């Protein structure tokens, strides 16, 4: 497992709080989100508390269950950033996707 620096720990906690907030906004109990994501309630608690022990697949499944998985993929898409667009040739992209242009 990767070493958890203070910055990583802080990000995990903030991410977990955001997931919990989305669940609250959607009005969904943890048991429902866990069931829809195909994970245990304990795994959902782990994600929401920022422990950093859940698999990426579990995190993505929870985000899908909450209807926010596209936000995550958009957030990490290099072509959605100025530096990514400027250096697109370095990632072997032939064109900028239409959704990346703003």
The 10s digit of each residue's pLDDT in 4-53 is: 899 999 999 999 999 999 999 999 999 999 999 999 999 999 999 999 99
3-state secondary structure of 1: coil
| Cβ atoms of 19 and 69 closer than 8 Å | no
Domain segments of the chain: what residues?
1-67, 69-102
Q: For residues 46 and 98, which has the higher predicted lDDT (pLDDT)?
A: 46
How far apart are the C-alpha atoms of 69 and 93, rounded to whole Å?
23
The predicted structure's pLDDT at residue 89: 79
Q: What is the pLDDT of residues 58-96, one digit of tens each?
A: 999 999 999 999 999 999 998 899 998 888 878 765 555
For residues 62, 11, 74, 77, the Cα torsion angle rounded to the nearest 10 degrees is -130
> Residue 81 region, left (φ>0) first, then alpha (ψ -120 to 50), else beta?
beta
pLDDT given for residue 97 in this prediction: 58
Say what the pLDDT of residue 88 is.
83
Its CATH architecture, for the domain 1-67, is Orthogonal Bundle (1.10)
């Amino acid at each position: 497992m990767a070493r958890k620096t203070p910055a990583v720990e802080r990000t995990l906690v903030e991410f977990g709080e955001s997931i919990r907030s989305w669940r609250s906004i959607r009005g969904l109990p943890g048991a429902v989100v866990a069931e829809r994501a195909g994970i245990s309630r304990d795994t959902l608690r782990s994600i929401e508390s920022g422990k950093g022990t859940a698999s990426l697949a579990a995190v993505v499944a929870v985000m899908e269950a909450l209807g926010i998985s596209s936000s995550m993929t958009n957030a990490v898409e290099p072509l959605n950033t100025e530096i990514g667009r400027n250096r697109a040739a370095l990632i072997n992209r032939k064109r900028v996707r239409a959704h990346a242009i703003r």
